[in-house]
């Protein structure tokens, strides 16, 4: 006796859709050549957050601040990447205005700082 299960098309459950964050969005930030923090950090931010606030308030309160080189960063010489492309952020512009959306990935590079004793850690 053959039984045929009725197949229905059920869309996958996506828990990290922007709609589930009540006006906020996820932002991932990595710091190249500083593997003491082994993966990008995830931040819950408003799309209306100004980039300067990210640098001045959120990142200093993150795991990055535990790294001994954090206080040595010369922000005028940081190189940024957005989606693996060079990016020049505007401090006074919002994330949204700069095309930084939900689950965007930013990387910062600090050319003069290469991790603890130059090891990349």
Model pLDDT, residue 92: 98
Instruction: Tell whether 72 is covered by a domain.
Output: yes
Contact indicator for 115, 35 with CB cutoff of 8 Å: yes
- Whole-model pTM: value is 0.85
Instruction: Tell whether 65 is covered by a domain.
Output: yes
Our count of domains for the chain comes to 1
**Nearest residue to 68 via CA among 109, 108, 28, 118:** 118
Instruction: Tell whether 102 is covered by a domain.
Output: no
Model pLDDT, residue 1: 56
Q: Which helix (H) or strand (E) holds 105?
A: strand 104-109
Contact indicator for 27, 10 with CB cutoff of 8 Å: no
Instruction: Tell whether 52 is covered by a domain.
Output: yes
Mean of the per-residue pLDDT values of the chain: 91
Model pLDDT, residue 14: 80
Domain that holds residue 72: 32-39+48-80+113-121
Instruction: Tell whether 25 is covered by a domain.
Output: no
- Exposed e or buried b for every residue in 60-83, given b needs 16+ CB within 10 A? eebebeebebbeebeeeebeeebe
Instruction: Tell whether 107 is covered by a domain.
Output: no
* Average pLDDT of the residues in 43-47: 97
């Amino acid at each position: 006796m053959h039984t045929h299960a009725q197949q229905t098309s059920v869309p996958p459950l996506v828990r990290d859709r922007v709609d589930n964050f009540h006006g906020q969005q996820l932002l991932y930030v990595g710091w190249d050549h500083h593997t003491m923090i082994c993966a990008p950090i995830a931040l819950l931010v408003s799309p209306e957050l100004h980039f300067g606030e990210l640098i001045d308030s959120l990142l200093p309160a993150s795991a990055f601040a535990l790294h001994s080189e954090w206080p040595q960063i010369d922000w005028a010489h940081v190189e940024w990447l957005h989606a693996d492309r060079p990016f020049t952020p505007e401090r006074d512009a919002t994330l949204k205005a700069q095309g930084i959306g939900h689950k965007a990935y930013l990387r910062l590079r600090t050319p003069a700082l290469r991790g603890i004793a130059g090891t990349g850690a």
